[in-house]
Amino acid sequence: MILKSFEIEKIKIKDKNFFLFYGENQGYKNQIIEEKFKKKYKENTYYYDENEILNNENNFFNNILSKSFFENEKLIIINRATDKIKKILEEVMEKKIQDLIIVLNANTLEKKSKIRSLFEKSKDAVCVPFYEDNSQTLSAIVNNFFREKKIPISQLAINLIVQRARGDRQNINNELEKVASFIKNKNKIEIQDLLKLTNLAENYNVSELIDYCLSKNKKRTINILNENNYSLEDCILIIRTFLIKTKRLIKLSKNFGETKNLDTTISGFKPPIFWKDKDVVKQQIRSWSYKDAKNLMYEINRIELLIKKYSNNSINILSDFIIEKSSTINS
């Protein structure tokens, strides 16, 4: 039986005995396993890594077949599941064991996956793919969190939390736990508070704006500027993000001058560049020489001073600068 991830709430656990959760969205899988399964079974939950079962099948079968006086139902969670465990699972399914629930937590599985096919076709099993969350879903999670706390939050602050998480629900949940502790006796939260509290990557809208600028994509840069209504506080965040990314570009340009190979330059860079950003970073290296990137850093420092000095005109100063740099032909 195949379900979409949002349909899992409709399932009554007792109606099915076998669940396969696969895909790259580990945060969402963990959330469902915690809320839908672990809370119900508590002490009667047993964890296995696939290799543990493959290396000691007898121990595994002894566990699932035995039942203590205090156990009514038993939950087995198998992590890092692959096709290697298919035969063992078929044996378990054939035994029709009462009061046993098995949840498999797997990474991405191709259509030809044997274990995926087994769960999709079995009437006693549920197969659920967990794809990456989009920004709208993650924004809703953050927004609902603050609404429940009755604390107002700006869209920019929501974007900051969401996009710093790099599309990872687990990261967002971890960061919201920190925020929950911080705001216990507060009635509002500021951008600066979030910057101090969170340990993730930069704001997505801001980060994307700077990435397009450094990649010389003038059209997309202007579109992002037009889509957002920035404040002075936002301008400071943007210019500092610009500086951080430019400093990284300086190091990359210097390394590229030594290796003469883009892939080698990026793969060997520390801290590692997120795989989704590799193409845009390559374009930035192509667009800026080491000398031009260093000059840009000095200009950014100058613009930050101007923004602070002429705060009433900060948005225009910053926008003009970003548009200029997105279209300038460097040496």
What is the DSSP track for 227-260? Answer: H----HHHHHHHHHHHHHHHHHHHHHHHHHHHH-
Show which of 94, 110, 129 is a domain's final residue. 129
Residue 150 pLDDT more than 80? Answer: yes
Whether 108 and 143 map to the same domain: the answer is: no
Residue 249 has pLDDT above 80, yes or no: yes
User: How many folded domains does the chain comprise?
Assistant: 3
Please indicate, yes or no, whether residues 124 and 139 belong to a single structural domain of this protein: no
Q: Which of 96-100, 114-118, 192-196, 274-278 has the lowest mean pLDDT?
A: 192-196
Does 275 score more than 90 pLDDT? no
- Number of residues assigned to the chain: 331
Give the pLDDT of residue 161.
Answer: 79
**Measured between alpha carbons, how far is 198 from 202 in angstroms, rounded to an integer?**
10
Q: Which domain holds residue 144?
A: 135-197
Contacts (Cβ under 8 Å, ≥6 apart) of 299: 321
The mean pLDDT of 257-269, rounded to a whole number, is 89
Q: What is the pLDDT of residues 21-49, one digit of tens each?
A: 998 888 888 888 888 888 777 778 888 88
Tens digit of each residue's pLDDT (9 = 90 or more) over 151-168: 888 888 888 777 666 667
CB 76: neighbour CB atoms within 10 A?
A: 21
Write down which residue in 86, 111, 129 finishes a domain. Answer: 129
d(CA 315, CA 238) in angstroms, rounded, equals 10
Instruction: Tally the C-alpha atoms within 13 A of residue 297's C-alpha that lie toward its C-beta.
Output: 15
E strand spans, 80-239: 100-106, 125-129
Residue 330's pLDDT band, with cuts at 50, 70 and 90, is low
- Coil, helix or strand at residue 176: helix
Average pLDDT, the chain: 84
- 256 shares its domain with 184: no
Same domain, 208 and 193: no
Q: Is the pLDDT of residue 209 over 80?
A: yes
Which residue do the tokens 């399964």 mark?
Answer: 37
Q: Which residues of 160-172 are buried (b: 16+ CB within 10 A; e: fewer)?
A: bbbbbbbbbbebb
What mean pLDDT do residues 60-64 have?
A: 87
> Same domain for 116 and 213?
no
Query: Half-sphere exposure of 197 toward its Cβ, with a 13 Å CA cutoff?
Result: 22
Q: Token match 């119900």: residue?
A: 40
> Which has more confidence, 205 or 61?
61
Q: Are residues 140 and 125 in the same domain?
A: no
Confidence (pLDDT) at 201: 41
Q: Could you tell me if 257 and 173 lie in one domain?
A: no
> Could you tell me if 311 and 239 lie in one domain?
yes
Model pLDDT, residue 281: 93
Are residues 51 and 68 part of one domain?
yes
CATH code where residue 223 lies: 1.20.272.10
Domain boundary, last residue among 147, 164, 197? 197
The CATH number for 11's domain is: 3.40.50.300
